[in-house]
Amino acid sequence: MSELEDAHEHLGSLISEMANAGKIDVESYAVDVAHIYAHLNRAWNTRNATGEVTDKEWEDGRLYPKDLEPLA
């Protein structure tokens, strides 16, 4: 749940920044989207974890899910 909350917070900040500024430089946008993606990725990959996530689960959580097809 905390990963989803963090993704939500960072996405909200990005949306606000873009709405207020009217634009964002591509480098900042790439960093922000990658950060949000990392939270969502870990949320998916650790969805079955009970209790604290181990260091191994944290590292494995960074990998693209093998059980999720990208939608185009």
What number of residues does the chain have?
72
Asked whether the beta carbons of 39 and 6 are under 8 A apart, the reply is yes
Percentage of residues of the chain with pLDDT beyond 70: 96
Predicted TM-score (pTM) of the model is 0.79
Side chain identity at 24, as an amino acid letter? I
- Domain range summary for the chain, segments of one domain joined by +: 2-60
Q: What average pLDDT does the segment 20-48 reach? A: 90
Side chain identity at 5, as an amino acid letter? E
Q: Is 42 exposed, middle or buried (0-12, 13-18, 19+ CB in 10 A)?
A: buried
Please give the pLDDT value at position 72. 65
